């Protein structure tokens, strides 16, 4: 109830009025049934702008830190993400990440839309980085199509570190659904998962026009500025 009220009467009207989003390919999002919405990730506001344009609710895998903040700000953030049915995602890898993916799998098995950022984190510089295998694991195990999405200009509205967004126009492009049914019987094969992930990221790159960097964005973020991997 909170989700529909907030989106219909607050989020959508405000974003449409202030940021005048332009949208292409919205009809590529299935009107019913499960699907993964796989997007590039330029800004924390991506998870606000994109769902506001859809009639159906989108359940996002959100980093677990949003659910564990301290103090009044942490409480407000946690309650917001819980009220909008966002799912905590542990990005540490191993069993913790697999447990988080199971929550996403349950969403898809219920016939809903799941939003995921294949890069695993926001781009540190506006370029498109190597995708992690979670999106392929979900697509193959749930046996659902993947809709590639390009967010345009959201990094200019709210870049990393900026709390208050700038007022300027944003855009989004929804690509044609990707069908990986030929790989369904090979779920769990890491070679296949890498192939599927790379195809999804390439589809996003074609829509967004971003420069691609074959390095994980999290690796770049973890390096000192002078010691970051050469991604030119």
pLDDT tens sequence across 161-174? 887 889 999 999 99
pLDDT grade, residue 80 (50/70/90)? low
* Best CA proximity match to 220, nearest among 143, 158, 160, 149: 160
Residue 9, domain member (yes or no): no
Residue 130, domain member (yes or no): yes
Tally of structural domains, the chain: 1
* Token pair belonging to 51: 């769902």
Higher pLDDT, 69 or 61: 61
Radius of gyration of the chain (CA): 17
Q: How is residue 210 annotated by DSSP?
A: P
Phi-psi category of residue 101: left, alpha or beta, with phi > 0 → left and psi -120 to 50 → alpha:
alpha
129 three-class SS = strand
Higher pLDDT, 226 or 165: 165
Supply the pTM of this predicted model. Answer: 0.87
- CA distances, 217 to each of 48, 68, 220 (Å): 21, 23, 5
- pLDDT of the residue at 232: 38
The Cα 61–Cα 90 span in angstroms is 9
Q: Which domain holds residue 41?
A: 20-218
pLDDT grade, residue 231 (50/70/90)? very low
The neighbour count for residue 186, using CB atoms within 10 Å, is 14
Instruction: Specify the CATH number for the domain of residue 197.
Output: 3.40.1130.10
Residue 6, domain member (yes or no): no
88 three-class SS = strand
Among 10-24, 66-80, 88-102, 177-191, the range scoring the smallest mean pLDDT is: 88-102
Higher pLDDT, 7 or 215: 215
Residue 82, domain member (yes or no): yes
- Residue 197 reports pLDDT greater than 50: yes
């Amino acid at each position: 109830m909170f989700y529909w009220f907030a989106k219909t009467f607050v989020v959508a009207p405000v974003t449409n009025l202030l940021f005048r989003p332009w949208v292409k390919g919205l009809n590529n999002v299935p009107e019913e049934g499960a699907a993964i919405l796989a997007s590039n990730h330029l800004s924390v506001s991506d998870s606000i702008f994109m769902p506001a344009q859809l009639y159906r609710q989108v359940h996002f895998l959100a980093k677990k830190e949003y659910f564990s903040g301290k103090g009044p700000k942490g409480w407000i953030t946690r309650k917001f993400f819980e009220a909008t049915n966002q799912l905590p995602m542990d990005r540490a890898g191993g069993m913790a990440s697999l447990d988080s993916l199971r929550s996403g799998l349950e969403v898809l098995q219920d016939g809903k839309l799941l939003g995921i950022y294949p890069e695993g984190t926001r781009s540190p510089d506006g370029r498109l980085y190597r995708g992690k295998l979670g999106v392929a694991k979900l697509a193959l195990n749930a046996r659902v199509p993947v809709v590639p999405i390009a967010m345009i200009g959201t990094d200019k509205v709210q870049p990393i570190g900026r709390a208050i967004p700038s007022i300027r126009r944003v855009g989004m492009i929804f690509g044609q659904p990707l069908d990986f049914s030929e790989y369904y019987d090979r779920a769990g094969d890491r070679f296949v998962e890498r192939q599927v992930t790379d195809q999804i990221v390439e589809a996003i790159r074609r829509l967004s026009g971003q420069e691609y960097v074959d390095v994980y964005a999290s690796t770049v973020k973890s390096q000192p500025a002078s010691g970051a991997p050469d991604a030119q």
